Every structure is written in C-alpha cells, then in structure tokens.
C-alpha cells in the first residue's frame, strides 16, 4: 500500500523493529500468535480510548474487533493440541 497517497504516516523504523522483535522472541507459532493478539488488542484499546464514550457505537472499532476475533482464531489454530487434529503434538 502506498502510504503517501492516503496521507498515512508509515510506521517508524523503531516501532516496526519493536513489533518484529516482539514476534521473533517467541520461538513457536503459539507464542507468536499470542504476541499478534496482544498487538491487535492494544490497537483496539487505543482506538476505544480515542473515541471515548462513543466507542461502543464506533464503526472503526467494530471493524477492528473483527480483526481481533481473527487474531484469536489464529491463536487457537496455533495451539499445539489443534495442529493436525492430534492432541498433545509439540513443536519441534
């Protein structure tokens, strides 16, 4: 996506590096999925704070909650017990 055409400020190198480092710290898919959920939850909380008392009826926040639900579904799929339908599978 070309950020210049939409007047959106791209992520700073420091922020982008911080996100990458957070994801890289986890050595297994489940841990990375936890980090991803935490990042999306933080975004949702920030937007809720931004909209204050109107957050409950905010279209933007409602849309982000769909993204959060998908992040949670991804985390569930990355549960070692869910991989290939084999309970108790561990990551190499």
Residue-wise pLDDT tens digits, 14-60: 999 999 999 999 999 999 999 999 999 999 999 999 989 888 888 99
d(C-alpha 22, C-alpha 25), whole Å: 5
Give Cβ neighbours of residue 41 (< 8 Å, ≥ 6 apart). 68, 71
The full length of the chain comes to 92
Q: How confident is the model at residue 91 (pLDDT cuts 50, 70, 90)?
A: very low
Q: Within the chain, what is the greatest distance between any pair of CA atoms?
A: 48
Global pTM reads 0.73
pLDDT at 57: 83
pLDDT at 75: 94
């Amino acid at each position: 996506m070309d950020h210049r055409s939409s007047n959106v400020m791209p992520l700073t190198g420091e922020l982008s590096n911080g996100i990458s480092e957070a994801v890289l710290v986890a050595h297994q898919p489940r841990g990375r999925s936890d980090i991803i959920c935490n990042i999306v939850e933080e975004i949702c909380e920030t937007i809720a704070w931004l909209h204050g008392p109107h957050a409950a009826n905010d279209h933007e926040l409602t849309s982000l909650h769909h993204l959060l639900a998908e992040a949670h579904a991804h985390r569930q799929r990355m549960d070692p017990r869910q991989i290939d339908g084999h309970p108790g599978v561990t990551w190499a």
